Structure 1
Amino acid sequence: MKVYRSKIDWWLIIVVFIVFCYPMIEGILSKDYLMFFVSFGILSFFFLMFKSIKYKIEGENLHIWWTKIDIKTIRKIYRTNNPLSSPALSLDRIAVVYNKYNEILISPKEREAFIQELLKINPNIEVVNNK
């Protein structure tokens, strides 16, 4: 089994940190400890989610959170900066097109090694290198 972590855009971490740190500081200053603990809990949840985003290649399957994709069904991989919600912590993404109409956006940190590993299992994947 090979595991690839998600690439992280640091601006995303800063935005999330600022959005939830302000209510934490405000909660302490105004002695509203409920606001502090709720904000701290949400911030902790976000960082746990960030840490858990990884892409696993196990046998002939690609596991992305709860999604299992048969690598033999992957038809195409192309680069994208699409900001749609997806299991990716960076806007420097790749789209994985599989089955007939399915597509998922991911951002593996080691993109080339990830793609090469998929190609070992399914050499018929079309890789579009649009830079």
Structure 2
Amino acid sequence: MPTIYRSKVDVWLFVVLAFAALAALYSAVQTMAAGTTGATGVAVLIAVVGVGLPLWLLFSTRYTLQATHLLAQSGPFKWVVPLADIKSITPSNNPLSSPALSLDRLRIDYGKGRMLLISPRDKERFLQDIEAARRAIA
């Protein structure tokens, strides 16, 4: 049975994403108000990308632990990490772009030089569960 862990969300990042969505919404309204040819299409594009993407990232970032792999999802992006390929999991505050909405992160090293940064809300439970899952497949 898969277990889902939601991403921890830093307040500062929530504010940045909310501001980006509001700025895009304002731009879309201003574009529509201009009333020029093609304004509707441009306004819809601005709204979909500028409002939709930040909200999608904010509400969809999660990590699903399955029997043989970890699936990380954030908006339209997905990462699959085979549990058997995990070499180490260590705490990190690396700000690299990743499926993590907090700088309170875990760095997962796996495969041949691959790395994924995640930020589960309950890191202790996540670590316990992933270690149990790794032992079960060993």
Which of 107, 111, 121 is the equivalent residue of 1:109? 121
Q: CA RMSD in A?
A: 2.2
Question: Which runs of 4 or more aligned residues in structure 1 lie more than 4 Å from their structure 2 counterparts after TM superposition?
Answer: 26-30, 33-39
Any idea what the Cα deviations from partners look like across 1:52-93, whole Å, max 9, x if unmatched?
211111112111133222112211111111111101111111
CA contact (8 A) 1:5 1:55 kept: yes
CA contact (8 A) 2:27 2:46 kept: no
Q: Distance in 2 between matches of 1:27 and 1:14?
A: 20
Aligned to 2:90: 78
TM-score normalised to structure 1 length: 0.79
Q: Distance in 1 between matches of 2:26 and 2:11?
A: 22
Task: State whether structure 2 residue 55 is matched by structure 1 residue 47.
Answer: yes
TM-score normalised to structure 2 length: 0.76
Q: Pick the structure with more helix per residue.
A: 2
Aligned length: 123
CA contact (8 A) 1:25 1:36 kept: no
Task: State whether structure 2 residue 61 is matched by structure 1 residue 60.
Answer: no
Unaligned runs of 5+ in 2: none
